[in-house]
Chain A
Amino acid sequence: MIKLENLSKTYFTAEEEAVSDLNLEVKEGEICVFVGPSGCGKTTTLKMINRLIEPTSGKIYINQKDAISLEKSELRREIGYVIQEIGLFPHLTVKENVATVPKLLKWDPERIDKRVKELLKTIGLDPDNHLDKYPNELSGGQQQRVGVARAMAADPPIMLMDEPFGAVDPITRADLQNEFLRLQKKINKTICFVTHDIDEAIKMGDKIAIMNQGKLVQYDTPKNILFNPKNEFVEDFIGSDRGLKVLNLLKAKKVMEKEFYKADRSESYEQVIKKLEESKQKYILVTADKRKLMGYVNLKRLKENEESDWEKHIKMTPVIEEDASLKDVLNKMIENDVTLIPIVDSDNNLKATITMEIIQNYISDEYNQEE
Chain B
Amino acid sequence: MAVIEYFFENSDKILEYTLAHLYLISISIILSLILWVSVGIIIRNREKTAKSLLGFGSLIMSVPSVSLYGILMTLPAFGLNMRSAIFALVLYSMIPIVRNVYTSLNEVDPAILESAKGMGMTEKQILWKVQLPMAMPVIIAGIRVALVMMVGIATLAVFIGERNLGQLIYQGIVRTKTEMIVTGAILISLISIIVDIMMEILKRILVSPGLLKEDSAGEGK
Contact = CB atoms under 8 A, between A and B. Distances in A.
Contacts of A151: 119
B202 to A, nearest CB: 16
Contacts of B51: none
B208 interface: yes
A81 interface: yes
B211 interface: yes
A81 B133 CA distance: 22
Contacts of A52: 114, 117-118
A27 B221 CA distance: 51
Interface stretch (A83-91, A171-179, A303-311, A341-349): A83-91
Chain B, interface size category, equals 20 to 34
Nearest to B115: A87
A138 B175 CA distance: 64
B214 interface: yes
A101 interface: yes
Main secondary structure of the interface of B (DSSP, over half): helix
B209 A134 contact: yes
A92 B210 contact: yes
Contacts of B113: 87
Contacts of B119: 76-77, 81, 100-101, 104, 150-151
Contact of B121 (A73, A134, A135, A136): A73
Contact of B114 (A83, A90, A92, A147): A83
B211 A91 contact: yes
Contacts of B154: none
Interface residues of A, number: 29
Interface in A72-127: 72-77, 81, 83, 85-93, 100-101, 104
Contacts of B134: 89-91
Contacts of B121: 73, 100, 104
Interface of B: 109, 111-122, 125, 130, 133-134, 136, 207-211, 213-214
Interface of A: 50, 52, 72-77, 81, 83, 85-93, 100-101, 104, 134-136, 147, 150-151, 160
Closest 8 CB pairs of A and B: A87-B115, A134-B210, A85-B111, A76-B120, A81-B118, A91-B208, A77-B120, A73-B120
